[in-house]
Chain A
């Protein structure tokens, strides 16, 4: 089992460009999450999907959109990247709300 995988691992964007971060899990988990982590800070929830077909905003959703493509895949889109979106992005999955979450390796994004 690969667990939670994320692509790409690194990305550099110019201000205003768009991109999609991909996440997939092979643990048959119902719930999936996107977080960002800035230096010296904890993880902040961007969006989550409690189950296939549902998505909800987290703490910092502005500037992002998500798609729960199927039970395995959950993507995060930046429509018009801004320098404030420079961060490390982690995808996670869990059996459901309240259960332990397992994290992917992260995507390091720099917006210039």
Chain B
């Protein structure tokens, strides 16, 4: 059974702080990784994807990937109350199916 593990949270950070969201995965064949944001009652929306080891930055978001450790993370700088949502980690498995974690709930306190 291929697994994606995320801390369910809630992760509570003050406005303006850095939020760090972590994810580990079991399938060593996974090559690409996606982060989705899901507001309560809404559908997931893509934030970022990363294929290569290291960091990838897009505005306030930075994705970090370490394939040797089977670890991927998402950093949100200058967190805003509007960032309060559930963040889903999703690696493509080796048979090209997207496997979703159960998500980390982020609360940004004003």
Give CA–CA (A42, B34) in the complex, Å.
Answer: 14
Q: Mark B83-104, 1 if CB is under 8 A from A, else 0.
A: 0000010001000111011110
Contact A41 B44 (CB under 8 A): no
Contact B43 A90 (CB under 8 A): yes
For the residues of B in contact with A, the DSSP-based class is loop
> On chain A, which size bracket covers the interface?
20 to 34
Number of residues on chain B facing chain A (CB within 8 A): 20
Contact B97 A40 (CB under 8 A): no
Q: Chain A's nearest CB lies how many Å from the CB of B58?
A: 13
Q: Count CB-based A-B contacts (< 8 Å).
A: 44
Q: Chain A's nearest CB lies how many Å from the CB of B3?
A: 11
Give CA–CA (A90, B100) in the complex, Å.
Answer: 13
Q: Chain A's nearest CB lies how many Å from the CB of B87?
A: 11
Tell whether A8 is near chain B: CB-to-CB under 8 Å: no
Contact B44 A43 (CB under 8 A): yes
Contact B8 A40 (CB under 8 A): yes
Q: Return chain B residues, CB-CB under 8 Å to A100.
A: 34, 46, 49
Contact B102 A103 (CB under 8 A): no
